[in-house]
Structure 1
Amino acid sequence: MAKPSFPPVEKNLLRGTGPQGHRERMRHRVLTNGAETLADYELLEMLLYYSIPRKDTKPLAKALLHRFGSLASVFDASGRDLRAMGVSEQAILLLKFPPVVAERLALAEERLRPRLGSWDQLCSYLSGSMVSAVPEQFRLLYLDNRNRLLADEPVDDFASTAPIFRRGLALQAVALIGIQKTLASFHATTSPLKLFAQRLSHEAGALSMTLHDVVIVSERRTPLSLRQRGLL
């Protein structure tokens, strides 16, 4: 009776076993789907890969989260407390970088996209941005759902609101603020800007947008809000 034969086992079938195979699968997952798909322990696990070679870092990642309560708390933990959990000096050094990077990215984002969710924040923005603004030019600030600035752009024609809303939809804006710098005295009740602002406010609602305000900026007076005046 002939002995049964079995096909040879390919090496790549064994490649997925052990810690190294797990790391390869995790890398592939991040490259394919993005790091945002990872759970907190998986993010920590992958960070620890680069300071703890040839060892499964999942148990340590889960133990750190259990001990300190959150990913942020792990990053904030002292070197002494991390060493007590068995974390190496090299791994401790690596864990000190994410909070610094996150803080600097947040500061850069704040400079590029300032938050304009209050009157004080808006006035602070205008004090810098309106210095070089063209007098009598109407500008629109497009904001996201957290009142962060998406764009600050001029509006050259009051005849149509369509270009404004096309731009707003392209930016995925949910709110608008109108700004005009004036050198002359401004009469809010008789200005064509008041009528345009009221039209803009009405039409914005149909597109699930909000006109927060229209503000008149003068070099000699404090900014004038049409909404505060009851004109919107």
Structure 2
Amino acid sequence: MDTVAMHISNGIVDPATSAVFAAIALAGMIVCVLRGRRDLDDRLAPMAGLVAAFIFAVQMLNFPVLPGVSGHLLGGALAAMLVGPWVGALCVTIVLIVQALVFADGGVSAIGLNVTNMALIGTFLTYGVLALLLKVLPRTATGVAVTGFVAAVVSVVAGSLGFVLQYAIGGQVDGISLGGAAGAMVGVHALIGVGEGLITAATVLAVAKVRPDLVYALRGKRLLPSTPKSTVESAA
């Protein structure tokens, strides 16, 4: 059985479609550079480097999903929570480019496709989801963990749907229907998303407990206790 992975190889999508999404990815990166410069400071700059290095390292470690199918951390949700959507998208893009050029993980002609799915869709959609959840859920350890988990699952599935759209426009693999590709991608990546959600939730929560100022999504606010102080005092 072939391994199903998010990284798109050369020849999966036709050159014209690849070129269109390369232009979309380039435009997105230009916007990220311009907006990300406003966020970068003495605190965020080294954190961005650590996030990129962490995502690169963890993406090299695959975990089994189904027989013959493995997944790995994509990093969009983690980057968005720790360094924000603009810088986060740049971190993921750098990782994808290095992997394609140095390790041949993802085709060179498909860099624009992969950047669109994992860096742009995966990061920006994630940030919208987590921003909403952080307003609804309490800013406790449980609330932050649930936020990271849900945002990661959404980012992975959304990224796989990005590939489905690209394949619908310019897919050129014989014997694979659009319905078959959609079912395989969404089904497998929903399971991969669970693994990514657990990793993202654990990582962000570990940082938030020690240095909440390093979690972009929390805006430097400390985690609230799970049990209100008044309840603890009355119980005592």
**Which structure carries more relative contact order (alpha carbon 8 Å, separation 6+)?**
2
Question: TM-score band (shorter)?
Answer: under 0.3
With normalisation by structure 2, the TM-score equals: 0.25
Relative to total residues, which structure has the larger strand share, 1 or 2?
Answer: 1
Relative to total residues, which structure has the larger helix share, 1 or 2?
Answer: 2
